[in-house]
Amino acid sequence: MNGTITHRAEVTRIFPQAVEIVVVSRSACDACRVKRQCGMGESREKRMIVGTPEASFFEPGEIVEVQTERSMGIKAVFFAYIFPFLFIFSLLLAMLHNGASEPAAGLSALGAGGCYYFVLYLLRHKIEKEITFKVRKLQ
């Protein structure tokens, strides 16, 4: 298996330097070994805007292929699930170890998780530059 994750998608809108696409999850995603990494296994329809200098060559309704490197999928899973879990769990254990009550430790850990996702939201434009997608026409 190569290092690329690909899905078929439909172009819905054209922008000067980007295209909006809709990726529809098909039953083939159920058998895919990396469906949890790319996130397509959980949803039926995923809209995204993919930057490309060739946007003017696409047409609404056209079926295209969207690609990303497997390492990008793993990075996204790390930022969205693994790191926040480790952060929240470590904070919870540290607070309990230092004598905080269970409700206080639990609420603090959940609050820290909320803060993490808020910071992640604020940094979304920087993360967008690191986790890239490519769109290409099908022959």
- When mean pLDDT is compared across 1-15, 57-71, 82-96, the lowest value belongs to 1-15
Give per-residue pLDDT as tens, 8-41.
888 999 998 889 999 876 555 566 666 665 655 5
Helix (H, G, I), strand (E, B) or coil at 123: coil
Query: Residue 76, Cβ neighbours under 10 Å: how many?
Result: 17
Distance CA 131, CA 68 (A): 8
pTM (2 d.p.): 0.64
What residues does each domain of the chain span? 4-137
